[in-house]
Amino acid sequence: MCNFGSIDNKARSAYADRDSPVKMTPFVGGENMLNRGFLIFSFCLLVVGCSSEDGSAVKIGFIGPLTGGVSANGIGGRNSVDLAIKLANADVTKQYKYQLVALDDECKPNIGIQVATKAAADSSILGAVAHYCSAVAVGTVDVFHKFAMPMIVWGAVLPKITYGNDYPEVHRVNGTMINQNDVAAKFMVDLGYKTWAIIHDTTDYGKGHDKYFTESLEKYGGIVLGRFGVTADQQDFNAELTKIKALEPDVIYFGGITPIGVRVRTQMDRLNIPAIFQGTSGIISDAYIEGAGTLAEGTLAFREGDSAERLPGGKMFLAEYDRNNYSSPPEAYGPFAFAAANLLIDAIESEGPDRKKITSYLNKVRNYNSVIGKITFDENGQNMVPLITRFVVQDGKWKIWEMSEYADNIRSLNRQNPK
Amino acid sequence: MRNVILRVKERFVSISVIFVTAIFLTVFLLVEDELSFTVLMLVGGGLFYFVKRRDCFKEVIVFARQSRYGFLICIFLALLTVLIILRNEHFALFMIASVALYSTVCFGLTIQLGYAGLTNFAGAAFFGVGGYAIAVLSSENFPDILSVLTGGFMAALVGSVLILPILRTRGHYAALVTIAFALLFKTFLELNDTLGGPQGLKISSMNMFGWDFGKSFFGGSFYLNYVLFSLLVMVSIFTLTRLLEKSWIGLHWDALRIDEISSASFGINISSWKILAFTLGNFFIGLSGALYAKMLGHIAPTNFTFGDSLILISIVILGGIGNPWGVIPAAFLIIVLPEKLQFIQEYRLLLFALLVILVLLYRPDGLFKKALRSFYRGWGKV
Amino acid sequence: MGNSLLNSQGLTVKFGGLTALSDLNFSLEKGELLGLIGPNGSGKTTCFNTITGIYRQAAGTTSLLGKDITGFTPQQIYKCGITRTFQRLRLAVALSVFDNLLIGDSSSLNTNLFFNLFQRSKLKQEIEKKINKVKKIISVFNPALVDKLYEPVSKLSMIDRRRIEVCRALISDPKVLLLDEPSAGMTQEETRDFMNDLHEIKTKSPDLGIILIEHEMNVIESVTDRCIVLSYGKKISEGSFKDVSRNPSVRTAYLGED
Amino acid sequence: MLLGSLDQYLINGLVLGVIYAMVAVGFTLFFGVLNVIKFSHGDVLMAGAFAALIAYISLQNFVSISIWMMVVITTTFAFAAMALFGAIVARFLVLPLRGAPPLNTLLITLMLGLAVREAVRLFYPNGSNPKPFPKLLPDTDIFIFGLEIRHDSLIIIFGGLAAICFLHLLIKKTRLGLSIQAVAQDSETARLMGINFQKIVLGTFALGSGLAALAGVLNGLYYNEINFSMGLLLGVVGFSSAVVGGLGSILGAIIGGFLFALLQTIGAIWFEVPAYKDVFAFVVIIAVMAWRPTGLLAETKSDRV
């Protein structure tokens, strides 16, 4: 970036020539001033141009939604990656100093491609932990491939992101919605529920969940009484829920993320719908419990990977996160972002700052120990998550099903006498 | 040769202003961290104040008026310098191409809003029509150059659905028609899986007459292809827009925008002029939408929300309604500034909103107010 | 009266329940200057708006040189050769004087898209022709205006704006000119100048029929050939200004006496 | 099956209609006096709801008062806070742009809306997540004409209607209202007649913004949940309602609000995929605009030639 020097010199010599007397004088004063201004300016340009280069640090990119509707998740992910980098920098055994470049994709594909280009084209950034929103990730994988930048998806769940291409650069630590819904459907049918009504948002997230859950449910013999696609910014679900109430399903399956999950759950109560509320990974957040209040009790949801609080590494992560006083919680996918960042850091430590080597290191990852359990990438870079964790809300906390009082039949999901 | 040197010396102030601006913008595109950004802003602000106080901008305008070709050559050289410096900076080039294409869209909106007075709050929707048209066509192996044009035609065609309500309504009522369209467009795309649904569609990179846009351009970034082509499109459509303004057509639009009743009393067929403006504007919007989609390589419904339409309208308003010259700096500001504010991460939209508010308070008519029409060079000189 | 320039029979206009103009008959001969007077709200401007097609009549017919033009759109009326000025000036003040005048001549302009975009030298020739035409017309009224041709109308004085509006109505060589209260907002001196302008118009184009709405009675007295008095949308008197002003019902209408 | 739930649809449609109408009335008021569209209106509604929430939380921690008292205090606080905010916006952002093209006002308020939204998201603790809004109204059922209605729905419907009626009376019967009308009709003449133009504009903006805050509170009481982006869609819907009804007319705004609620409810019942209800509603709106270009209740101001 320091190559402005030559141009500035040329410009300066042009000014020097100018000192020889030529006709036209009205602007001479202005020119002298301009001359000086220009010199100061060129100097500043040099300073600015060169100061932004920080020689020693190795950069890691983070991309996620930091503004807009789902920013809570993005900020949680960003903080988690930040934590991973802080811990790495505090660790004396690490060879490199790491630096975080966090970018906001606004959960919009065009902005996502823009910032992915920014990160990927910057050769000082060695790899990226990228994307919570599936529609964005689907678009940016091409960019990462084009610039040969290794990237690890930390939250987007659409299968197509890893399975829709054969790019060696693309990896994903979290599972896809296929695994999640298969386990969810089997689990619910085994609990004895028979009929479902599905509400899903019309984003790729909601539509995908609707598709895969329905497929699995048919396999295990559950019946879908009705499905309701709603827009992601909808506030009022009374009309849809009134229809559902008439259908009398055992369970309402919700495919979508926290904000409308909260709305659907609270409005269910307003209409006295006794059905069980079953969500997806998108509502596993503290915000869901905060937003829905006591109504959250007994909500079920499923997420790929092991639970952080069940693993020793996970406990460490949560403790460190608390210790660093981030203003907002890591949310459901924070641990995944943390794990992805650690994976990337380990790759750099082992292979040095070389994108190609990092990519091939990542492709060979098998049984890597992380806060979300063991990570093994298949040939598409997809973590073959063996485990889907089932969650239920109990006393204002997301509890792992097996550790909850519901599993022990101390409590019952069925609300006996809804008012 | 000597003549050229003399001329350069004569215009020295203007030429330096142009080149300093160009280099300033180059550095602006390159800086990343907050320290450099702040320093650069301070330097830029000081320089702006300094240049303005010495009336050097007037100097540039005089230059542009008096020797058009010299001015254009100068601009061209400045641009060339910028592109040579940035030849390997993919992201900066990407942003330049984006600014060029967004400016082109806003020329279309300028024809609608600034000339004919039609408020179009569905700009992003027509932008999207162009993008979707080319996405469908490139999967059919249709020649790319024709697909780009088809993108424009499709946007104009889809726009014709709205012509009846737009002709019958005025002001805020017409605004509502386009707002409603913008809102339903995105939802409709999301719900319908035929056009990729919420995941959108992938698009192959541009390739016309053997010019492969996906390949590196003379050793530089492959984005240079897009930059050059977008700049070409921008300059052509800018020229067309200006020619329209400086012709009887622009006069008719001005008349009916300012006063429909008196225009009707002087025989101006309001409907047909509005239809022309609306269709032509949408054509330009669709055209650049198609090109933008090609450059992105992937489009999805959430690129074309009502909020995006508002961004487009913001560019037109900020530049000064009806002034295509103002559109380019405004597009630069609205597109690049939020990107440059990435270092403040989640606070950037807040700061961006406050900055735009300040600009509007300081310059209530936008950055550059529309000037009187001059039909040809030397207009008004007796 | 079949051969009169402009002829209206039984013109009636209603706004909801209100009858703004009822059963108005009048005719205008070639070269005649007809005054249209009456108190505020008596339907004078409504009459203009109806003739020019901005309002729809509930009943009645209008014909120009024997040709029925009832129910024509404003655009068609203009093309038939009827132009007007407005009581509250309707100039585009942000545009230049030249632009404003050319709006009045819009039907003679070549608006072909290809011509306007790509045949710029031909367009330039057409524009230069128009400049000469415009200069000729405005120099009749105020030669000083020729120098202000490229300035925005917002910089002109009230009387010059009125002049521009009259020029805009005259530039297309109309058969009928409707002037809606041209002296409004003018000083006495300006009004006098303006009366001279009117005489000028009459000598330049002897066949032009003019209808003039005016509150200044001395203007009416000195320039009109004939007057029609309206009150509450009805014609209450017709004749030369002297006859009309002696008519007791006219006095009642103006002074509100019973 | 559908008929059995008819009462549910009806009640919910009415609540929606009331909330939409309240937002629409604000748009109509601003348009009436200044001929401007204030696009930040929906976000003011959201900020009002958050103001009420803040008032509730701080009161809850310090004093114990009856629940009705709580409703009154929080609502008043939200109303006052947003009224003040509205007046400040009018004074420093809207009035200075009076000479500029009206679209510039639109842009500046649009940006203000974005700023308010982002500010709440960033500065309210954990503001990017939905917040529970306290259940302050009784949720018991009553039966009216055989319809099962919850008390809180009823209170919200009547509360909203009362607020609109109150506003209507204020404008028709009081001095302030008459001045607002005068300014709306002809600001030049009103000024000549000694009406303090600026004061009236500030008053109108305060009133409209206060009403939006009220709508925000009712919205929160009904859904028991608020979030920073709730104003986005409500603002657009409110604007659409005001325009469809006919700008400048309070009755038009009410009709527009209820029409929109009706369309959405019908759409949700009718379509297999309920998300089509917005597409449906907006298609109908476009058709209505083609049919009645100046809204259902046409503007009374006619273009004087």
Q: Tell me, what DSSP letter sits at residue A382? A: B
CATH class of the domain whose range is B90-362: mainly alpha
Q: How far is D212 from chain B (nearest CA, A)?
A: 20
A140 and A258 inside one domain: no
Strand pairing class (C67-68; B298-299): unpaired
Strand pairing class (C33-37; C209-213): parallel
CB-nearest partner of A109 from B23, B33, B302: B302
Tokens representing B156 are: 């104009």
Quickly list DSSP for A37-93: HHHHHHHHHHHHHHHT--SS-EEEEEEE--SSTTHHHHHHHHHHHHHHHHHHHH-TT
Cβ of residue D2 closer than 8 Å to a chain C Cβ: no
The residues of chain C scoring below 50 in pLDDT are 1, 258
Asked if D282 lies within 8 A of B183 by C-beta distance, the reply is yes
> Which whole number is the average pLDDT over B94-121?
92
Contacting chains of D (3 CB pairs or more, <8 Å) are: A, B, C
Parse chain B into domains and list their residue ranges. Answer: 1-85, 90-362
Q: How far is D300 from chain B (nearest CA, A)?
A: 15
Asked if B172 lies within 8 A of D31 by C-beta distance, the reply is yes
Q: Which residue, among A219, A175, A187, has the nearest Cα to A400 in the 3D structure?
A: A187
CA C186 to chain centre: 17
Q: Is residue A412 part of a domain?
A: no
Q: How many CB atoms lie within 10 A of CB D69?
A: 12
Q: Residue D290 above 50 pLDDT? A: yes
Q: Tell me, what DSSP letter sits at residue B185? A: H
The superfamily CATH assigns to domain C1-81+174-189+198-258 is: P-loop containing nucleotide triphosphate hydrolases (3.40.50.300)
Q: How far is B20 from chain D (nearest CA, A)?
A: 31
Tokens representing D256 are: 């527009």
Q: Which domain holds residue D75?
A: 18-241
A189 and A270 inside one domain: yes
CB-nearest partner of A45 from B23, B50, B349: B23
Between chain B and chain C, the number of residue pairs with CB atoms below 8 A apart is 97
Q: Per-residue confidence at D298, pLDDT binned at 50, 70, 90?
A: low
| Sequence-ordered list of residues with C-beta below 8 angstroms from that of B276, at least 6 positions apart, any chain | B116, B249, C113
Q: How far is D56 from chain A (nearest CA, A)?
A: 16
For chain A, how many structural domains are there in total? 3
- pLDDT, tens digit (0-9, with 9 covering 90-100), for B253-304: 999 998 888 899 898 999 999 999 999 999 999 999 999 999 988 888 888 9
CB-nearest partner of B176 from D243, D275, D283: D243
Which range is most confident: B30-44, B339-353, C203-217, D37-51?
D37-51
Q: How many CB atoms lie within 10 A of CB C254?
A: 16
> Which whole number is the average pLDDT over B138-148?
84
% pLDDT > 70, chain B:
99
pLDDT at residue A23 in the model: 37
Q: Is residue A416 part of a domain?
A: no
Q: Per-residue confidence at D302, pLDDT binned at 50, 70, 90?
A: very low
Q: How far is B294 from chain A (nearest CA, A)?
A: 12
Q: Is residue A237 part of a domain?
A: yes
> Which whole number is the average pLDDT over D236-260?
90
The residues of chain A scoring below 50 in pLDDT are 1-31, 50-54, 416-419
Q: Is residue D30 part of a domain?
A: yes
Tokens representing D188 are: 């030049």
Q: Is residue D11 part of a domain?
A: no
Give, in order, the Cα–Cα distances in Å from A57 to each of A38, A90, A103, A348.
33, 14, 18, 12
Asked if A104 lies within 8 A of B346 by C-beta distance, the reply is yes
* DSSP-based three-state secondary structure for B277: helix
Q: Per-residue confidence at D301, pLDDT binned at 50, 70, 90?
A: very low
- pLDDT, tens digit (0-9, with 9 covering 90-100), for C74-91: 999 998 899 999 988 888
- pLDDT, tens digit (0-9, with 9 covering 90-100), for D15-67: 999 999 999 999 888 888 877 888 899 999 999 999 999 999 888 877 777 88
Burial class (CB in 10 A: 0-12, 13-18, 19+), A267: buried
For chain D, how many structural domains are there in total? 1
- pLDDT, tens digit (0-9, with 9 covering 90-100), for C18-32: 888 888 888 898 888
Rounded Cα distance between C198 and C211, Å, is 12
- pLDDT, tens digit (0-9, with 9 covering 90-100), for D261-286: 999 888 888 887 888 888 888 899 88
| Sequence-ordered list of residues with C-beta below 8 angstroms from that of A351, at least 6 positions apart, any chain | A357, A358, A360, A361
Which D residues 232-261 touch A at CB under 8 Å?
232-234
Which C residues 91-150 touch B at CB under 8 Å?
91-92, 94-96, 99, 102-104, 106-107, 109-111, 113, 116-117, 120, 123-124, 127, 147, 149-150
Rounded Cα distance between D128 and A69, Å, is 7
Rounded Cα distance between A203 and A217, Å, is 21
Rounded Cα distance between A278 and A254, Å, is 6
Q: List CB contacts (< 8 A) between B262 and chain C.
A: 86, 90-92, 103
Residues, chain A, total? Answer: 419
Shortest CA distance from D271: residue in chain A: A228
Q: What is the mean pLDDT of chain B?
A: 86
Rounded Cα distance between B288 and B235, Å, is 12
Q: Residue B2 above 80 pLDDT? A: no
Quickly list DSSP for D144-213: ETTEEEEHHHHHHHHHHHHHHHHHHHHHHHSHHHHHHHHHHH-HHHHHHTT--HHHHHHHHHHHHHHHHH
A62 and A154 inside one domain: yes
Whether residue A386 contacts residue A182, with contact meaning beta carbons closer than 8 Å, is answered with: no
A134 and A107 inside one domain: yes
Prediction pTM value: 0.88
Q: List CB contacts (< 8 A) between C84 and chain D.
A: none
Q: What share of chain C is helix, strand, coil (3-state, %, to 5)?
A: 45, 25, 35
| Sequence-ordered list of residues with C-beta below 8 angstroms from that of A55, at least 6 positions apart, any chain | none
Rounded Cα distance between B328 and B331, Å, is 5
Shortest CA distance from D152: residue in chain A: A270
Q: List CB contacts (< 8 A) between C165 and chain D.
A: none
Q: Which residue, among A287, C181, A124, has the nearest Cα to D121 in the 3D structure?
A: A287
- pLDDT, tens digit (0-9, with 9 covering 90-100), for A76-96: 999 999 999 999 999 888 888
SS (H, E, C) D4-67: HHHHHHHHHHHHHHHHHHHHHHHHHHHHHHHCCCCCCHHHHHHHHHHHHHHHHHHHHHHCCCCH
pLDDT at residue A14 in the model: 38
Q: How many CB atoms lie within 10 A of CB A413?
A: 17
Parse chain C into domains and list their residue ranges. Answer: 1-81+174-189+198-258, 95-167
A118 and A156 inside one domain: yes
Q: List CB contacts (< 8 A) between B375 and chain C.
A: 123-124, 127
Q: Which domain holds residue A204?
A: 178-304+389-403
A20 and A66 inside one domain: no
- How crowded is the C-beta side of A208, counted as CA atoms within 13 Å? 25
Q: List CB contacts (< 8 A) between B190 and chain D.
A: 275
Q: Is residue D172 part of a domain?
A: yes
Tokens representing B69 are: 């070709």
A17 and A122 inside one domain: no
Q: Is residue A409 part of a domain?
A: no
Beta bridge partners of A388: A304, A305
Q: How far is B266 from chain D (nearest CA, A)?
A: 14
> Which whole number is the average pLDDT over B228-249?
93
Q: Is residue A87 part of a domain?
A: yes
| Sequence-ordered list of residues with C-beta below 8 angstroms from that of C211, at least 6 positions apart, any chain | C6, C28, C33, C34, C35, C36, C48, C176, C177, C178, C179
Cβ of residue A259 closer than 8 Å to a chain D Cβ: yes
CA geometry: angle at B167 spanning B165 and B171, to 5°? 90
Whether residue D142 contacts residue D151, with contact meaning beta carbons closer than 8 Å, is answered with: yes
* Least-confidence region, from A62-66, B237-241, B355-359: B355-359
Q: Is residue A408 part of a domain?
A: no
What is the C-alpha R_g of chain A? 26
A245 and A231 inside one domain: yes
Strand pairing class (C59-64; C67-68): antiparallel
Q: Residue B112 above 90 pLDDT? A: yes
